[in-house]
Structure 1
Amino acid sequence: MSQGLELMLFGMGTVVIFLTLLVLITTVMSALVARFPPSPADTLAAPLPVSATTSVTDPVLLSVISAAIHHHRKGR
């Protein structure tokens, strides 16, 4: 019985130490990221919003899109 209790305490202590280290490391990493933000060149440019009313007037672009849709539907 005492051996089981000892094993339980050892296991729970290991988990508590691991979780404490995890929280500390995560907090430090979060502080570092907040202190040194990435430069604008490192971030991806946000895509332009496309509305449902956007029309395609370029005939080459329209044919490429039509071919891609046809190819996709044919593959099913």
Structure 2
Amino acid sequence: MDNVMSMAIDLMLSGMGFVFAFLIILVFATTFMSKVVVRFAPEEPATPAKTTPRARPTGPASVDPDTTEAIKQAIAKYRSNHKK
């Protein structure tokens, strides 16, 4: 039984060591890649000092009267069911 526990502890420590080593390599690799991307990436275009507000998307020019009435009734029903 003692031999099995010793082997289990050895396996656990070696597994944790490999994971730790992999994570250290991963940190250095991502740091290196970040530096490479910053060095070789194209510069961002200059943004104008004053930005114009974006135009709101326009809805349909007119709404069917039946649809308008259905929306009004739905709002009224919702408000009547959810009074404070």
**TM-score normalized by the length of structure 2:** 0.47
| Whole-angstrom CA distance in 2 between matches of 1:32 and 1:9 | 35
Query: RCO greater where, 1 or 2, for CA within 8 Å and sep 6 or more?
Result: 1
Give the % identical residues: 48
CA RMSD of aligned residues (A): 2.5
* Equivalent position to 2:13, from 9, 13, 16: 9
What is the one-letter code of the residue matched to 2:37?
Answer: V
Does structure 1 residue 29 correspond to structure 2 residue 38? no
The 4+ residue runs of structure 1 with deviation greater than 6 A are none
Does structure 1 residue 52 correspond to structure 2 residue 67? no
Deviation at 1:51, TM superposition (A): 2.2
SS of corresponding position for 1:51: coil
Deviation at 1:53, TM superposition (A): 3.8
Equivalent pairs, count: 47
**TM-score normalized by the length of structure 1:** 0.51
| Whole-angstrom CA distance in 1 between matches of 2:42 and 2:15 | 40
Q: Which runs of 5+ in 2 are unaligned?
A: 45-53, 60-84
Deviation at 1:28, TM superposition (A): 0.1
Residues 33-55 of structure 1 deviation map (CA, whole Å, 9 limit, x = unaligned):
11111367xxxxxxxx652248x
* Structure label with greater radius of gyration: 2
